[in-house]
């Protein structure tokens, strides 16, 4: 529940506004937009479930807000800005409020999208007001929701530049740059479009820390359902575990909505408890809702993704030069359908040719599994193929790892002053270019065959892992090791989509 007091208007500004009719019009526009909202949230970390990593990252921020002296005595500078990134309804606002709640400090918030419709100059003035108020209330949190609305990279569209947006963004940056070690204000911004953000926002001393929030997996969904089932009497027969299993692709907001719909349905029946049927019907309603349609992952897609990731994991596990698999998931994150992550056991700067070759094979493991099981390929492997191709090309042109070409650097060095857009700075003949292509192709072909070979020896394990993934969506490294046995020697941090 949000407590929303009247918008804050500073005295100086209030006086100024009385001075003319035009200013009164602006004041009207402002009050309508209710830009700044301030309160002291009662929300705590206990209200946010399934995002343990994010909470861990934010624990330090909470500690800082509680005891800023401890940090300033040590000369430590806390981050000024923190960017929460995640799809809608994954708890960005909730978590920002929980940070304030945990620390017991005021929470001032403002939404980027509301600036866009304002008169020129008003947005920047509002930002000044906001930060004035924040400094008076420090330590505190300033929350800028939907920062992408004002923080899109500048100068994108010539001529049609949105002055208001730019001025607002500039003012936010000016304010943050003006913080000193005693300001004790932390700005948390939220976005689901990190790709469009102006790079200036992400520079050190601005929003240089990011907290990623994804759609919850089955365990996460259960935890979120448990949070929102508080205060809703459930019938004996209800098993939230089953509900969690039936709701892949649901965000935290969808789950909250689901329990609320179920309670409404129970009330309509004049029942005293929420029954299994209410929940089943509520799931259908939420799925049919306008917001959800695009998210629903078909059974077919889940199956393909599960085999794809199982393929990566199996090949990674089987090859000696790949780190142990830490986690496999078919919960989508942004554009990718799932991911397989391996854990490095040490920092590495040097890589051998055999290590690269194992990495290529592992990267193509998903593609190989799809081919093997479905007899065809999906677009899900395109990112893997792109990355493998880049690595193979570097092996040939930068690291001199091709026998046919020998130890010669063919690409401009990696720190070439010419970015790719200026056209490749090629300093070799067409014949050599042809050879490079052939060598890259050969490396990829070999890697693909090695992946195929691993999978053909382990068909049963492939099916078993894929089915486990379909059932529980994520597998921890320990579970995989339990199934396949320990793996030999390890290597560098990597993740395959
Ligand atoms: P976002 O800001 O990412 O769009 P919100 O924080 O506004 O998402 O989430 C909307 C509502 O959904 C929250 O108020 C809460 O009821 C529910 N919710 C979302 N994520 C979670 C979560 N991780 N744990 C518990 N509830 C959640
Ligand atoms: Mg939000
Ligand atoms: Zn992949």
Domains and CATH numbers, the chain: 23-212 (3.40.50.300), 218-288 (1.10.8.60), 299-496 (1.20.58.760)
Alpha-carbon distance 68 to 80, whole Å?
13
Residue 80, both tokens: 């000024």
| Ligand showing the shortest atom-to-Cα distance for residue 341 | 3
Closest CA to 6 of 28, 30, 38, 29: 38
**Residue that is written with structure tokens 């923080």 in the block:** 151
Q: Is the pLDDT of residue 414 over 60?
A: no
pLDDT at residue 367 tops 90 = yes
Please compute the mean of the pLDDT values over residues 325-351 and round it to a whole number: 73
Closest listed residue to residue 52, CA positions, set 248, 279, 217, 290: 217
| Prior bond of 119 cis (ω within 30°) | no
Q: Find, among 329, 323, 287, 325, the residue nearest to 306 by Cα.
A: 329
Indicate which atom in ligand 1 lies nearest the CA of residue 190.
2
Q: How distant, in Å, are the alpha carbons of 211, 317, 453 from that of 458? A: 38, 11, 9
- What is the CA 172 to chain-centroid distance, rounded? 23
In percent, the amount of the chain with pLDDT more than 70 equals 80
pLDDT value at 5 more than 50: no
- Mean pLDDT is highest, among 208-217, 321-330, 441-450, for 441-450
* Tokens of residue 124, six digits: 């920047």
- Residue 456 pLDDT: 94
Q: Residue 116's pLDDT band (boundaries 50, 70, 90)?
A: low
* pLDDT score for 117: 63
pLDDT: which is higher, 38 or 89: 89
Alpha carbon distance 244, 224 (integer Å): 9
List residues, by chain if needed, whose CB lies under 5 Å from ion ligand 2: 93
Mutate to test the pocket of ligand 1, among 2, 55, 91, 192 (most ligand atoms within 8 A of CB): 91
Q: Give 172-220 pLDDT, tens digit per residue.
A: 889 998 888 778 899 999 998 888 888 888 888 899 899 999 889 989 9
Answer whether 96 contacts ligand 1 (Cβ < 6 A).
no
Rounded to the nearest integer, the mean pLDDT of the chain is 81
Most confident stretch, 73-82, 178-187, 371-380, 383-392? 383-392
What's the CA-to-centroid distance between 291 and ligand 2, angstroms?
15
- Angle, CA 181 vertex, CA 177 and CA 184 arms, to 5°: 90
Identify the pLDDT of residue 378. 79
Question: Looking at the CA of 97, which ligand is closest?
Answer: 1
Residue whose CA lies nearest to ligand 1 atom number 18: 252
350 CA → ligand 3 middle, Å: 25
* Any atom of ligand 1 within 6 Å of the Cβ of 145: no
**3, 192, 252, 259, best to mutate for ligand 1 pocket (most atoms within 8 Å of CB):** 252
Point out the least confidently predicted range of 317-321, 338-342, 386-390: 338-342
Q: Which of 77-81, 93-97, 284-288, 445-449 has the lowest mean pLDDT?
A: 284-288
Q: What is the pLDDT of residue 433?
A: 85
| CA distances in angstroms from 79 to 179, 208, 315, listed in the order given | 11, 7, 40
On the question of pLDDT at 389 being above 90, the answer is yes
Q: Measured from the CB, is residue 302 less than 6 Å from ligand 1?
A: no
Q: Is the CB of 214 under 6 A from ligand 1?
A: no
Q: Could you tell me if the CB of 41 is within 6 A of ligand 1?
A: no
CA of 482 to the centre of ligand 3 (A): 23
Residue 457 pLDDT? 93
Query: What is the residue with the minimal CA distance to atom 5 of ligand 1?
Result: 91
Q: How far is the CA of 91 from the centre of ligand 2 (A)?
A: 7
Give the residue-averaged pLDDT of 130-141.
Answer: 91
**48 CB under 6 A from ligand 1?**
yes
**Taking residues 455-459, what's their average pLDDT?**
94
Nearest ligand to residue 98 Cα:
1
Share of the chain above pLDDT 90, in %: 41
CA of residue 47 to ligand 1 center, whole Å: 9
Instruction: Report the DSSP beta bridge partners of residue 110.
Output: 144
Residue 301 pLDDT: 81
Which pLDDT score is estimated for 454? 95
Q: Which atom of ligand 1 is nearest to the CA of 86?
A: 3
CB of 49 closer than 6 angstroms to any ligand 1 atom: yes
The CB of 311 under 6 Å from ligand 1? The reply is no
- Active-site residues, by number, are 309
Q: Which of 68-82, 207-221, 240-254, 358-372 has the lowest mean pLDDT?
A: 68-82
Residue 220 Cβ contacting ligand 1 at under 6 Å: no
Ligand 1 atom nearest residue 87's Cα: 3
Q: What is the mean pLDDT of residues 332-346?
A: 68
More confident residue, 68 or 227: 227
Q: How many CA atoms lie within 13 A of 198 on its CB side?
A: 20
**Confidence grade of residue 252 (pLDDT, cut at 50, 70, 90):** very high
The two beta strands, 81-85 and 140-145, are: unpaired
| Top mutation candidate among 42, 47, 94 for ligand 1, by most atoms within 8 Å of CB | 94
Q: Ligand 1 in contact with 256 (CB < 6 A)?
A: yes
pLDDT (average), residues 467-486: 88
90 pocket-lining for ligand 1 (C-beta < 6 Å): yes
Q: Which residue has the higher pLDDT, 152 or 317?
A: 317
Look at ligand 1, atom 12, and give the residue with the nearest C-alpha: 253
Model pLDDT, residue 162: 63
Question: pLDDT value at position 30?
Answer: 47
Tens of pLDDT, residues 210-249: 999 988 998 999 999 999 999 999 999 999 999 998 888 8
pLDDT of residue 165: 76
Across-strand partners of 270? none
Give the C-alpha separation, 454 to 319, whole Å. 9
**Atom 15 of ligand 1, residue of closest alpha carbon:** 253
């Amino acid at each position: 529940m949000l407590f929303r007091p009247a918008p804050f208007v500073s005295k100086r500004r209030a006086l100024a506004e009385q001075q003319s009719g035009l200013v009164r019009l602006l004041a009207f526009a402002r009050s309508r937009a209710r830009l700044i909202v301030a309160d002291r949230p009662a929300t705590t970390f206990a209200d946010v479930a399934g995002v343990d990593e994010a909470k861990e990252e934010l624990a330090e921020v909470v500690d800082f807000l509680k005891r800023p002296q401890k940090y300033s005595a040590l000369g430590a500078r806390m981050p000024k800005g923190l960017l929460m990134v995640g799809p809608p309804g994954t708890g960005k606002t909730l978590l920002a409020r929980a940070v304030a709640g945990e620390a017991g400090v005021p929470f001032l918030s403002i939404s980027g999208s509301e600036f866009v419709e304002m008169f020129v100059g008003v947005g920047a003035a509002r930002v000044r007001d906001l930060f004035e108020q924040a400094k008076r209330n420090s330590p505190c949190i300033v929350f800028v929701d939907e920062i992408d609305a004002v923080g899109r990279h500048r100068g994108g569209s010539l001529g049609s530049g949105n002055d208001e947006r730019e001025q607002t963004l500039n003012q936010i940056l000016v304010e943050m740059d003006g913080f000193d070690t005693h300001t004790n204000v932390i700005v948390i911004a939220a976005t689901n479009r990190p790709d469009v953000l102006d790079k200036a926002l992400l520079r050190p001393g601005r929003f240089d820390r990011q907290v990623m929030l994804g759609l919850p997996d089955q365990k996460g969904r259960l935890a979120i359902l448990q949070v929102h089932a508080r205060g809703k009497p459930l019938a004996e027969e209800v098993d939230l575990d089953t509900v969690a299993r039936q709701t892949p692709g649901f965000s935290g907001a969808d789950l909250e909505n689901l329990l609320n719909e179920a309670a409404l349905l129970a009330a309509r029946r004049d029942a005293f408890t929420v029954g299994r049927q209410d929940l089943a019907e509520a799931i259908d309603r939420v799925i049919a809702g306008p917001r959800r349609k695009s998210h629903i992952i078909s059974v077919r897609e889940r199956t393909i993704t599960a085999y794809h990731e199982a393929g990566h994991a199996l090949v990674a596990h089987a090859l000696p030069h790949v780190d142990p698999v830490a986690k496999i998931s078919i919960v989508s994150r942004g554009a990718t359908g799932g991911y397989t992550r391996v854990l490095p056991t040490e920092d590495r700067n040097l890589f051998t040719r055999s290590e690269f070759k194992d990495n290529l094979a592992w990267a193509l493991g998903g593609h190989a599994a799809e081919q093997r099981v479905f007899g065809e390929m999906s677009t899900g492997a395109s990112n893997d193929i792109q990355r493998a191709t880049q690595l193979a090309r570097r092996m040939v042109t930068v690291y001199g790892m091709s026998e046919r070409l020998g130890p010669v650097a063919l690409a401009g060095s990696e720190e070439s002053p010419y970015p790719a857009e200026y056209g490749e700075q090629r300093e070799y003949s067409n014949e050599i270019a042809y050879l490079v292509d052939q060598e890259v192709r050969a490396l990829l072909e070999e890697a693909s065959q090695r992946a195929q070979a691993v999978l053909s020896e382990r068909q049963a394990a492939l099916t078993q892992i894929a089915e486990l993934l379909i059932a529980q969506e994520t597998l921890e490294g320990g579970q995989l090791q339990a199934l396949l046995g320990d793996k030999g020697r390890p290597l560098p941090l990597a993740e395959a989509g």
